[in-house]
Amino acid sequence: MSPTPESESGSPSEPGLDGQVWFITGASRGLGAEFASAALDAGHAVVATGRDTSAVAGAVDESEDRMVAELDVTEPAAAESATEAAVDRFGRIDVLVNNAGVSYKGFFEETGMAEIRDQLEVNLFGAMHVTRAVLPVMRDQRYGHVISISSGAGLSGFAFSSAYAVSKFGLEGWMDALHDEVEPFGIDTTVVNPGWFRTTLTAEESMPFTDPAIDDYDERRAEQMEWWENQDGQQPNDPAKLADALVEIAGEDDPPRRFIAGEDAIELAEGKVAELQEQIDAYRGLSTSMAYDDA
């Protein structure tokens, strides 16, 4: 995708705006705020969105190229309104970053269906609502870039995060299919798998714990909760560096369909690749015996 889309006259489609127009969800804290700041610093315009606009305004420095818009990603009408406001202000949307998310922590048996549905509503359906609102703009433009923030949990599920893994595995499958659907319109897609970054992920509003319910899990639950509660400030990766990397990737003519961010995330991905290969090899003979005998 071209970093500075032009109109038919050869000048930027919005007077005085030479960079891209970024639309970022969940920009009130954490990675979302970092993405917004990095894009602004790089000379791009940013539509920074969140449920609490005052929190967004406080997290992202004021700029003539910064627009703050109220957006609850679980509400399709809100996604449409925020998209319309962005186009009214800047004339286009070049980069969409689906970043808003929540991470329920708890064992599957102790996680209620209401909590699982809420997890999906934010992480998966929320990204779908916003993308559905933005895609008509990008199709009309015949260019754009949809970036969705996944997780290591989108590559490999792990205990005490089953609902979160469901949401991220779903996000990845959807994005994989979406790529083939929108590429003919000049729209790129990228899934980002961040490793362990030093953000507010472990804050209560970002990482709620499910209510304990089953005695058999008591010991392991206590260990998990203690571990997660002690993670603030211990994460090895710098969110500002991920934000800069995202700006770089969004400026490429041929951006990657997947970006694995952090040495720890690469280690996880390589382990998953090796595990899959081992599983394939272990039953290759049985797996390849499924064809009809007369084939």
pLDDT tens-digit map of 115-158: 999 999 999 999 999 999 999 999 999 999 999 999 998 999 99
> Strand 45-50 vs strand 144-149: parallel, antiparallel, or unpaired?
unpaired
Structural domain span for residue 112:
21-264
Residue 282 is assigned to a structural domain of this protein: no
For residue 141, being part of any structural domain is answered with yes
| Given the residues 28, 103, 148, 150, the one annotated as active site | 150
Residue 146: what pLDDT?
A: 98
Along the chain (295 residues), what's the average pLDDT of each consecutive run of 10 residues? 40 60 96 96 98 96 96 98 98 97 93 95 98 98 98 91 95 98 98 80 69 90 85 73 96 97 92 97 97 85
Closest by CA position to 74, among listed 16, 32, 132: 132
Residue 16 in domain: no
The answer to whether residue 164 is catalytic is yes
Any domain includes 4: no
> Considering the entire predicted model, what is its pTM?
0.91
Q: Which residues pair with 197 in a beta bridge?
A: 237
CATH for 124: 3.40.50.720
The span from the CA of 72 to the CA of 158, in Å, is: 28
Other C-beta atoms closer than 10 Å to the C-beta of 199 total: 20
What pLDDT, on the 0 to 100 scale, is given for residue 208?
A: 85
How many domains in the chain?
1
pLDDT of residue 9: 28
Q: What is the pLDDT of residue 210?
A: 85
Whole-number pLDDT of residue 236 = 60
Assess whether 150 carries a catalytic annotation: yes
Query: Is residue 136 assigned to a domain?
Result: yes
What is the chain's alpha carbon radius of gyration, rounded to the nearest angstrom?
20
292 is catalytic: no
The identity of residue 278, as a single letter, is E
Q: Is residue 146 part of a domain?
A: yes
pLDDT at residue 178 in the model: 98
Roughly what angle, to the nearest 10 degrees, separates helices 162-182 and 113-120? 30
Pick the catalytic residue: 37, 161, 167, 168?
A: 168
Residue 219 confidence (pLDDT): 94
Catalytic residue among 104, 148, 162, 164: 164
* pLDDT of the residue at 6: 42
Task: Please give the pLDDT value at position 203.
Answer: 56
| Residue 93 located in a structural domain | yes
Residue 274 lies in a domain: no
pLDDT of amino acid 2: 45
Q: Is 85 exposed, middle or buried (0-12, 13-18, 19+ CB in 10 A)?
A: middle
